[in-house]
Structure 1
Amino acid sequence: MWTYGPGALIDLPNLSVVTLGIDRWEKERCTPIEEARLLSAVRRVLGAQVDSLRMPPFRVSENMGKRTAEDYIGVPVRPFPRWLRCVKCGLLSEYDIGLFKLKESYHRPESTRFVHKDCKGSRGDQPARDADAVPARFLVACRNGHLDDFPWHYFVHRGTSDCKGTLRFFESGASLQTENLWIKCDGCGAARNMAHAFGRLGQENLPACRGRHAHLDTYDEKCEEDARAVL
């Protein structure tokens, strides 16, 4: 109900996820809370449309052997941001287009992570081996509560582009200040400093807000607020 409710970002040990809206929860597994006074108090704040209060869905049993249907029950989340970065070669890409692979650990879920399969390092001359892929640090948001992936292709190409080259995220200095962070396209060679995404420059270099609600899979038709880069 508080910090990690629908629409919240959760920073797990190796993943970043967003809690999906309650329309994606398995309602039949959410035990009703029979507290009339509490329900009345909630309705006074949120409105009479609240018909019940329920517990979150949870696992029925902790089965350490063969996995059962109950082991998959829980609050639904989705990896967010969609963009990940390889810690070895700097490859920057969406997790769901096939360049990164999810390595699940059922008995130690905190170890579940994405990897860049057969990475050969930043120069392409190292032995091929799996490298960890971590969430990209940047998102865009607006004052209307919209949250979206950072527009990496648009940003590095300074607008819409037909270039299909892969992107790289790299550092040019010892600190992690934005002026030392760069994005480069392997296809056309375009490169850009992340400092151009913030402040007055950010207003000039970022596209209009798309009105996205990442936890609901919806887009508002029109949003007039500026999209701003956030960590």
Structure 2
Amino acid sequence: MKAKDTRVRQSQLVSTFGVGAIFPSGDHSYLICGLDEWDERGCAPIEEPRLARSLRVHSFRAPATGSRRGDVPVVRFPEFQYCPGCRRLGRFWEFDEETLQCSDCVRELAPSRFVACCQKGHLEEFPYFQWVHRRVDGQATWDASARHLMKLETKGVSSSLADIVVKCSCGVRPRDLEGAFGRSALAQGQVLRRKEAVVAKR
């Protein structure tokens, strides 16, 4: 996809916002796709034969910048968005996908503040559903047949993780994000396995 009405400098694409980086654009954020998704026709060749021989590559190309020369391939990331008004939390297609507004508050959505990352640098969505529907003594704590609408609320006491709370309409006990940055916080047994999760639909 293309980030709407967005321009990025070439120097940014080879440094701060290179491949795999999260690029902020107004109230939205995107993940820069891998080079296999780029269109070489929008990337001008750079003649550096000695450096190419040294690095054992054929050639170099300057990255596109979202101008007439070509678009930078991106995907929306994170998919989780929340409404600053009612604090509803969900993937962007669960709201108004065209306007990215909350249908209840008619307010612009904001990207999730949290993502998960492994030691090798692979990014994924923070598992909000699995986090609040945690397993207790090996048993699930939620009703699979219930309606699941999540909210991301703050207690307003401080900016710590302990003051950020995930709630679900199914009635499961709310859970704050304290400990979410721990090494084994998302390990199997601490949160639900992916195959046990259900898709929240409105």
Q: TM-score, normalised by structure 1?
A: 0.65
The 1:150–1:28 alpha-carbon spacing in structure 2 relative to 1, beyond 3 Å, is: same
Cα deviation, residue 174, structure 1? 3.3
On the 8 A contact 2:83/2:109 being kept in 1, the answer is yes
Residue number in structure 2 paired with 1:18: 31
Unaligned ranges ≥5, structure 1:
62-69, 104-113, 120-129, 210-231
On the 8 A contact 1:4/1:10 being kept in 2, the answer is yes
Unaligned ranges ≥5, structure 2:
1-13, 195-202
* 1-structure distance, mates of 2:192, 2:78: 17
The 3-state SS of whatever aligns with 1:116 is coil
Q: Runs in 1 of length 4+ with deviation above 4 angstroms? A: 58-61, 206-209
Residue number in structure 2 paired with 1:139: 115
Cα deviation, residue 58, structure 1? 4.4
Cα deviation, residue 208, structure 1? 7.9
On the 8 A contact 1:156/1:192 being kept in 2, the answer is yes
- Which residue of 10, 13, 21 maps to 1:8? 21
The 1:79–1:115 alpha-carbon spacing in structure 2 relative to 1, beyond 3 Å, is: same
Matches within 5 A, 1:53-64: 53-58=60-65, 61=68
Residue number in structure 2 paired with 1:194: 177
Q: Deviations over 1:186-215 (max 9, x none)?
A: 123431111142337725635689xxxxxx
Cα deviation, residue 173, structure 1? 2.2
Worse overlay, 86-95 or 51-60: 51-60
* 2-structure distance, mates of 1:146, 1:117: 33
* 2-structure distance, mates of 1:200, 1:149: 16
On the 8 A contact 1:100/1:133 being kept in 2, the answer is no
Cα deviation, residue 89, structure 1? 0.6
Residue type of the alignment partner of 1:136: S
The 3-state SS of whatever aligns with 2:101 is strand
* 2-structure distance, mates of 1:208, 1:199: 18
* 2-structure distance, mates of 1:102, 1:17: 16
Matches within 5 A, 1:24-43: 24-41=37-54, 43=55
> Are 1:75 and 2:58 matched, yes or no?
no
The 1:149–1:203 alpha-carbon spacing in structure 2 relative to 1, beyond 3 Å, is: closer
Between the two proteins, the alignment pairs up a number of residues equal to 172
On the 8 A contact 2:133/2:192 being kept in 1, the answer is no
Q: Deviations over 1:23-44 (max 9, x none)?
A: 1111122111122123234x1x
Q: If each structure's helix is expressed as a fraction of its own residues, which one has the higher value?
A: 1
The 3-state SS of whatever aligns with 2:166 is strand
Residue number in structure 1 paired with 2:199: none
Q: TM-score, normalised by structure 2?
A: 0.74
Residue number in structure 1 paired with 2:97: 101
Residue type of the alignment partner of 1:20: C
Q: Deviations over 1:141-166 (max 9, x none)?
A: 11122211101111100047635501
